[in-house]
Homo-oligomer: A and B are copies of this chain.
Amino acid sequence: MRSGTNLPRVGGFNRSVILDTIRRSPEGVSRVEIAGATGLSAQTVSNIVRRLLQEDLVTETGRAASTGGKPRTLLRTNPTAYFSVGIHIDPDTITLVATDLDGSVRGTVHRRTPRTPSANQVVRQVAGAVRGLLERAQIPVDRLLGLGVACPGPLDLSRGLVLSPPNLPGWHEVPLLAYLQEEFGVPVVVDNDATAAAIGERWAGAGGARMGSFAFLYFGTGVGGGLFLGDQVWRGNSGNAGEFGHITVVPNGTPCFCGNKGCLEAYVRPHAIVAETAAALEKRPADPLPLKLEPSREFADYELICQAAGTHPVARQVIQRAAAKVAIAATSLVNVVDVERIVLGGKGVRYVVDAYKAAISEAVNSRSIARGVRTVQVEPSLIGEDAGARGAAALVLDGAYSPQLATLFSRTD
């Protein structure tokens, strides 16, 4: 049954709305402007702001020139009131990022992901990395709002705090989340890395750059996606929505690790790009490329190919074919979810972002069914290559401070 809503829940929601409004006004905003922007009464705004000031989440900073009457006091968020740490567990790399309340990065750590870890080894390594990061960024543990963990899908949310990332069989049943929660005494949240990246993007673009509806296409070791629909994240019924890399682009095509055939990911992930390039190079000995072709150097090979795509004929063809497949999947995606914006992010797009952007934009704006009534914007991510980890940090901030429709309907009993 759909729940009704009531005053205490509305109060919590309005608090988030006001905090969100202040956060989106880096130049400062007055109580009167908040009332105008949110449609809330002056009294409600005043009461909520008083509590936010007491909690040190907001500060009063100077006064704005007034159009008459007394000058209005401006409010800003206090970015150093709290901090968050995001941990992105990718099959290649574990990335940690510490951010302040504004989502600004205060420190970053990269570690190689252990291939066959023991549970003990992993949890101690990660906890040690968090502690080192907090120390170097000079963040006191009691100012840590929480830890966010992001890993590739699929997620089994019903399994709670046991993490078992696919492609990382050794990680199965590593009790990382429960350990971190106990070790640091703060909430630990977990999400799909691409969904986390979308939340991080929304947090970074809260000034308006990422309001509304967008799909975050995440290119890492694999290919994922996160969805914001109507300015709310859509995680899916089982927490596995937005799996952009598993849109079929070739019927009965190349087998994918996921068990299906012809998935986009099977053609455009770094492993596939390197293999396709290596095979093509064998037939063209006159056009060599200095690939290492060792499993541990695969991502470096991939980036070499991406960089060479501008000049090297084989690399160019491979990347063009990949871009064409990405564009086909993006058109299907747009036809299904009808978003106004596509964002490209993750370390995998560093050198192909322009090629992918051009191919996607051309496709969705000349071949999607609603192209006549709207233009879809295609843009690089605001949060860069560490989108997974920055997104994981944003999970904590978002859970604590974004207006969540769900809070209006949560049962208090």
Contact = CB atoms under 8 A, between A and B. Distances in A.
Interface string A1-38: 11111100010011001101100100000000000011
A286 interface: no
B153 A251 contact: no
Q: What interface size band does chain A fall in? A: 35 or more
B243 A369 contact: yes
Interface string A207-232: 00000110000000000010101110
Given A234-B229, A367-B259, A371-B259, A240 B5 contact: no
A158 B249 CA distance: 32
Nearest to A157: B373
B40 A6 contact: yes
A238 B17 contact: no
Interface in A149-194: 153-158
B240 A369 contact: yes
Contacts of A241: 336-338
A370 interface: yes
A238 B411 contact: no
A246 interface: yes
Contacts of A373: 154-158, 238, 240
A145 B242 CA distance: 38
Contact of A236 (B239, B249, B325, B337): B337
B153 A4 contact: no
Nearest to A409: B39
A283 interface: no
Q: How many copies does the complex hold?
A: 2
Contacts of A154: 369-370, 372-373
Contacts of A329: 248
Contacts of A258: 367, 369
Given A236-B338, A238-B373, A18 B4 contact: yes
Contact of A403 (B2, B239, B371): B2
Given A212-B237, A370-B240, A373-B158, A38 B1 contact: yes
Contacts of A340: 237-238
A235 B230 CA distance: 10
A332 B237 contact: no
B335 A247 contact: yes
Interface string A54-94: 00000000000000000000000000000000000000000
A246 B156 CA distance: 30
A231 B2 contact: yes
A153 B367 CA distance: 14
A156 B367 contact: no
Closest 3 CB pairs of A and B: A236-B338, A240-B370, A241-B338
